Amino acid sequence: MIKLSPSILSADFANLERDITKAALAGADYIHVDVMDGHFVPNITIGVPVVKSLRRATSLPLDVHLMITDPDDYIEAFIRAGADILTVHAEANGDTLAQIRRIRALGARPSVSIKPGTPIETVLPLLPELSMLLVMTVEPGFGGQGFIENTIPKIRALRDAIDAGGYACELEADGGIGAKNIRAVCEYGINVVVAGSAVFGQPDIGAAIAQLRANTEGL
Ligand code: DX5
Ligand code: ZN
């Protein structure tokens, strides 16, 4: 079954507990937390203290997406704060393989993300050590953008590589996914879907999740 990871980037930041509780009750699988440093991407969001508070507010796994230039400086702090899945960008500073191993050694599930313009060859050698691979389907930085169609061949190729190797690596897509295209995205090979504006940007969070779920029925 497809997993849904609603992104709190589109939630009401003054009412995060209320919004994530609605998502949890509606059957969200993870809570996606977008951390931006104003340097790796041209936006600033939240950091370690908010993850720590979210940890107390939900029992769902926290899927923490680091869009920051220097993940080495923050990996340990985010895991101590309660990140269950920790994603670093392949384009960020540092040795990505060493970061993956450190995340696992600290007790979290390691994940790597690639931006739309980054070729999959960058991450293919990492697949055996990853719990998840996050394909950005928009340029990272902001919610509410349109899905970039030319990421589809990358998704298909990554799905083939994961299946061919028999790797226990989830394949997540992030950006521009909603009720209209979620089924197609999953048919390309995605099994974890991030949705921000399509969930927390909707008037009824529970109904929005139910709709996404209905649209992936049978997958
Ligand atoms: C963008 C973030 C996404 C964002 C997705 O850089 O990584 O997680 O919240 O938002 P939507 O689903 O609205 O495209
Ligand atoms: Zn994200």
Domain of 17: which CATH number? 3.20.20.70
If you average pLDDT over residues 94-106, what whole number do you get?
98
Ligand 1 pocket test target in 194, 202, 209, 212 with most atoms within 8 Å of CB: 194
HSE-CB for 71 with a 13 A CA cutoff:
28
Is 143's C-beta closer than 6 angstroms to any atom of ligand 1? yes
Q: What is the pLDDT of residues 169-219, one digit of tens each?
A: 999 999 999 999 999 999 999 999 999 999 999 999 999 999 999 999 999
Is 111's C-beta closer than 6 angstroms to any atom of ligand 1? no
Residues around the ion ligand 2 (C-beta < 5 A): 34, 65, 174
User: What band does 59 get if pLDDT is binned at 50, 70 and 90?
Assistant: very high
d(CA 140, ligand 1 centre) in Å: 7
* Total of domains in the chain: 1
The pTM for the full model equals 0.98
Distance (Å, whole) CA 23 – CA 185 = 21
Atom of ligand 1 nearest to the CA of 178: 12
Pick from 170, 19, 136: nearest CA to 67: 136
Residues 6+ apart with CB under 8 A from 191: 2, 3, 170, 171, 172
| Residue-range definition of the domain harbouring residue 13 | 3-215
Looking at residue 29, what is its pLDDT?
A: 98
If you average pLDDT over residues 108-119, what whole number do you get?
99
